[in-house]
Amino acid sequence: MIPYRDLKPTKKFPLVTLLLIACNIAVFTYMLILPLSETNLFVYRYSAIPLEFRLGRNLSVSPGIEPIFTVFTAMFMHGGWFHIIGNMLYLWIFGVNVEGALGHFKFFSFYMLCGFLATFAQIYTNFSSTIPLLGASGAIAGILAAYLRLFPKAKIAVLVPIFIF
């Protein structure tokens, strides 16, 4: 099932949700226009790499910003079309009402906190990994949890793809 909208109208304009979607799309578009070698450097520079947190410094393949800041920059990067489309679809469907319920500042703070905690949870599950962590999936999961908590009886319109084998 793929959700495509919720049936609960909101009264507030979703400014933060729209800005988060715009920022994610802008970073993804920037990554698309970079040459492949520069894209790889960009990914290693701004994504969270678990081993850097264990060592307390950047690796030679990622001469970028301090590792602690990559926890935030990684939330605005995505690994492909399905990754960004899925995350932004869920952010749009569920973020609008959560932002309406929490208010702009609390919603943004909650989004960033969820992304931060999810990234650290991933870092500490494989502390020796040199594979870059990126994406907003942890923040989106937090928004989904908040939506379920705030609107437990809300109805969601979904597509049910039927595959014939």
Output the domain CATH number for residue 36: 1.20.1540.10
Name the more confident of 44 and 26: 26
State the Cα–Cα distance between residues 85 and 98, nearest whole angstrom.
19
Per residue in 37-48, pLDDT (tens digit) is 899 899 989 999
Q: Is residue 22 part of a domain?
A: yes
State the Cα–Cα distance between residues 151 and 147, nearest whole angstrom.
6
Number of domains observed in the structure of the chain? 1
Q: Is residue 7 part of a domain?
A: no
Q: Is residue 72 part of a domain?
A: yes
pLDDT at site 165 = 67
